[in-house]
Amino acid sequence: MKTKFKIVILILLLLSALFINTKVNALMPLSGKIIVIDPGHGGKDPGTISDTTYESNINLAISKALEIELSKAGATVILTRNDDYDLSVPNARWRKKSDFDNRINLINDSKADIYLSIHLNYLTNSAYYGPQVFYDNKDTENLATIIQNTLNTNLNTDRKIKPIPSKTYMYDKLNVPGVLIECGFLSNPSEKSKLITEEYQQKLAILIKDALISYFN
């Protein structure tokens, strides 16, 4: 009798643990994942400048919003920068190369599952608009597709994924899989007016998070 009672208790404990684990996974679907977010440019490198709007500042704002969303979903998030600076060493002869090299080292040493490089687009033709995702190799084409489709569906855009050109410095040297997300066009006045708002930055962050949940699950 005692043996049967112990077996019943053990089964109940196992079912309880399974229920708790299932509930945690549902609430934190990115638990156990390490994700590096790399806000492009920073410091003396503002990226694209449109009037008084610096690409580097919007990249950082979107990245910080994304960090919060991914963390709430259970991911461990690493930002390559969390303020307006680049990663070059002081007095570097080739500042941009030094910045790239340190980003490369940080991402490669992170043991992350993926990285997300956050940037903005700019063209002389102001008609172009919408986020576009670039993948670094065939292994991340599916990741790029899921993010792009999520953005297109929810932002009413129709841009297509593209490969990052081969031998592009930095991306060519990363051993962590990832994608480059151009979050919109600063050259498009209507899209620029959205990109500078906290509300739209938050919307982009939530959509990228939702896409990553779909990708990992």
- Which residue is associated with the tokens 């009037």? 51
Examine the domain organization and report whether 25 and 77 are in the same domain: no
State whether 15 and 97 are in the same domain: no
Confidence of residue 175 (pLDDT cuts 50, 70, 90): very high
Same domain as 112, residue 70: yes
Q: Which of 24, 115, 45, 43 is nearest to 84 (CA)?
A: 43
Note down the domain range covering 144.
31-216
Do residues 35 and 122 share a domain?
yes
Residue 18, pLDDT score: 46
In this prediction, residue 8 carries a pLDDT of 55
pLDDT band of residue 166 (cuts 50, 70, 90) is confident
Instruction: Say if residue 12's pLDDT is above 60.
Output: no
Q: Does 87 share its domain with 119?
A: yes
Instruction: Say if residue 65 is in the same domain as residue 23.
Output: no
Q: Whole-prediction pTM value?
A: 0.88
Residues 6, 69, single domain; the answer is no
How far, in Å, CA of 149 to CA of 211, rounded? Answer: 8
- Please tell me whether residues 20 and 106 are part of one structural domain: no
Question: Do 109 and 74 have their domain in common?
Answer: yes
On the question of pLDDT at 152 being above 90, the answer is yes
Do 97 and 175 sit in the same domain of this protein? yes
In this structure, are 172 and 162 located in the same domain?
A: yes
Mean pLDDT of the chain: 92
Does the pLDDT at position 141 exceed 90?
A: yes
Nearest-5° Cα angle at 126, 122 to 132: 50
Give the tens place of pLDDT for each residue, 83-127: 999 999 998 999 999 999 999 999 999 999 999 999 999 999 999
pLDDT score recorded for residue 137 = 86
Q: Is the same domain home to 3 and 109?
A: no
DSSP secondary structure string, 127-171?
T--S-EEEESSGGGHHHHHHHHHHHHHHHT-----EEPPTT-TTG
Q: Which parts of the chain fold into alpha helices (H)?
A: 2-27, 55-72, 95-109, 141-155, 189-195, 198-216
Number of domains in the chain: 2
Where residue 141 sits, what CATH number does that domain have?
A: 3.40.630.40
Q: What is the pLDDT of residue 25?
A: 57
